[in-house]
Amino acid sequence: MKEKVILAYSGGLDTTAIIPWLKENYDYDVVCCCIDVGQGNELDGLEERAKLSGATKLYIEHVTDEFVDEYVIPCVKAGAVYENKYLLGTSMARPVIAKKLVEVARKEKAVAICHGATGKGNDQVRFELGIKALAPDLKIIAPWRCNDTWKMQSREDEIEYCKAHGIDLPFDASHSYSRDRNLWHISHEGLELEDPANAPNYDHLLVLGVSPEKAPNEAENLSLTFEKGIPVALNGKSMKASAIIEELNVLGGKHGIGIIDIVENRVVGMKSRGVYETPGGTILMEAHTQLEELILDRATLSCKKEIGNKFADVVYEGKWFTPLREALQAFVEVTQEYVTGEVKLKLYKGNIIKQGTTSPYSLYNESIASFTTGELYNHHDAEGFINLFGLSLKVRAMKMAEVEKNK
């Protein structure tokens, strides 16, 4: 029997061309594995295409709920946002994909895992760090880095290669955006986006929704209910988190929510420009943030923001299966113990407008905060506090005045 390689298979032209390339250059039996993290109709026709291309078997692993519950929700709880904008849609999906590839490799007794990520991107790092952490004995094959054997540099090259190997596929050579989609988001790179001086062609680009200019003129209200930082209900209806995100994607897309245009710093050192659509995720993150405003004390909230930024870096860099990620997540879990309540929002032309937040654990005390009441707060107490709080400033100012006087 031949040795086996597990191919991370999307069904696109790149990974389809990799199947005959692997057989030709490694003499492996190719077992394709597609991980369903909510990419929708991209899964249509995969089995026929994989077999036609020479694969011996195709696994389709449906892990959308696992993706949401074990990877997305921890990032929501952490408030993890990379470089102040990117909600980590692709980054969060890579570790669960790596995990499932390893599981299939063990089941098939494969000796290697192959992925189609390029040598310029983040995904090669994320896939390979995940595989190394979970299965350090497995060989990793990255065709785009195999300069001696991978000669294809364009879609035209890949199509011709497939035809030469008797594979006639419904792909054409016309270039389009490079996209990655899952339940949380869709990313767009390439074409006019490669020049930061160009405006995005939103009429041609958007998939999950519309631009704010084309959103309805009527606003739409909604409510989200959280328990211990986890979304459990939308508009009062109890739902699992993945279903909430799915419905929020529809609502957010309709109202032009969650479209960002960012030049980000990739792990490999270069800057990259992309447009991300994250309609449901943007609403969910904003609602969670608003709830935490009421519940977390000042010191915890301040520290959590730092932890959230570090968590985002760790996820972005593909270091999910590390003690550091586990430790950061443990901190976050403690902060979420009382993040329970309801957040009301209004969606209008790309904006998320606060409509009121309630929680049984709210630290907001009207008797203290109000201008018209104040039974628990004595204004005169502020004088002593300010004297102590500003003592170091006063001492320094006195010293500098003395120095100036003695010159």
Spatial separation of the C-alpha atoms in residues 300 and 32, rounded to whole Å: 46
279 within 8 A of 245, measured Cβ to Cβ = no
Q: What are phi and psi of 343, to 5 degrees?
A: -120, 125
Give the homologous superfamily in CATH for domain 4-65+87-164. HUPs (3.40.50.620)
Dump strand ranges (E) for 278-379.
341-348, 351-358
CA angle (400, 403, 407) in 5-degree steps? 140
279-295 and 298-316 helices, crossing angle to 10°: 150
6 within 8 A of 55, measured Cβ to Cβ = no
Which structure tokens are listed for 341? 């309540």
Q: Does domain 178-296+339-358 have CATH number 3.90.1260.10?
A: yes
Dump strand ranges (E) for 98-197.
112-114, 139-141, 178-181, 186-189
Comparing C-alpha atoms, which of 32, 20, 99 is closest to residue 59? 32
pLDDT of 286 reads 98
Residues that are catalytic: 14, 94, 123, 178
Q: Give burial (CB, 10 Å; 0-12/13-18/19+) of 1.
A: exposed
pLDDT of 48 reads 87
- In the numeric block, the tokens 């929510």 are attached to 257
Which residue stretches of 165-264 are H helix?
A: 202-205, 241-254
- pLDDT, tens digit, 9 for 90 and up, residues 270-288: 999 999 999 999 999 999 9
Low-confidence spans in the chain with pLDDT less than 50: none
Helix or strand (DSSP H, E) at 7 = strand 4-8
pLDDT of 251 reads 98
What proportion of the chain, given as a percentage, has pLDDT over 90?
A: 87
pLDDT of 374 reads 63
Domain residue ranges of the chain, discontinuous segments joined by +: 4-65+87-164, 178-296+339-358, 366-398
